[in-house]
A = this chain, B = another copy of it.
Amino acid sequence: MRHVAERARVSRMTVSRALNKPGTVNEGLRKRVLDAVAELGYVHNQLARNLSSQRSNVIGLVLPSLENSIFAQTLKGISDILRPIGFHLMVAESTDDPEDEEQVVAAFVAQRIAGIILHSTNHTPATVRMLRSSNTPVVENGDFPAEPIDMVVSYSNRAAAKAMTLHLARLGYRKIAFAGLAANPRADQRRLGYLDALRETGLATEPSRVVSVSRGFAGGTEAIACIANRLPDTDALFCAGDVLAAGALFECDRRRWRVPGRLAIASFDDLELMRHVRPAITSLRLARYEIGHRSAQMLLDRMEQASMPVTFVDLGFEIVQRAST
Contacts and interface: CB of A to CB of B under 8 A. Distances in A.
A162 to B, nearest CB: 29
A47 B111 contact: yes
A127 to B, nearest CB: 12
A25 interface: no
A91 B91 contact: yes
Contacts of A41: 129-130, 133
A47 B43 contact: no
Contacts of A46: 107, 110-112
A245 B73 CA distance: 22
Report whether over half of chain A's contact residues are helix, strand or loop; otherwise say mixed: helix
Nearest to A278: B253
A91 B89 contact: yes
B47 A75 contact: no
Interface stretch (A48-56, A147-155, A200-208, A227-235): A48-56
Contacts of A180: none
A67 interface: yes
A229 B67 CA distance: 38
A134 B43 contact: yes
Interface in A227-265: 246-247, 250, 253-254
Interface string A95-122: 0000000000011111110000000000
Assembly of this chain: how many copies? 2
Contacts of A110: 43-46
A79 interface: yes
A216 B272 contact: yes
Interface in A77-101: 79, 83, 86, 88-93
Interface residues of A, number: 52
Contacts of A92: 79, 83, 88-89
A209 interface: no
A34 interface: no
A184 interface: no
Contact of A273 (B58, B79, B106, B273): B273
Contacts of A67: 69, 72-73, 75-76
Contacts of A11: none
Contact of A47 (B47, B69, B90, B134): B47
B93 A79 contact: yes
Given A47-B47, A88-B90, 13 more contacts: A45-B51, A47-B56, A66-B72, A66-B76, A67-B69, A69-B72, A72-B72, A83-B92, A88-B107, A88-B108, A90-B90, A90-B91, A217-B275
Task: Kindly list the 6 A-B residue pairs having the minimum CB-CB distance in the complex, ordered from nearest.
Answer: A69-B69, A46-B110, A217-B276, A66-B76, A46-B111, A67-B72
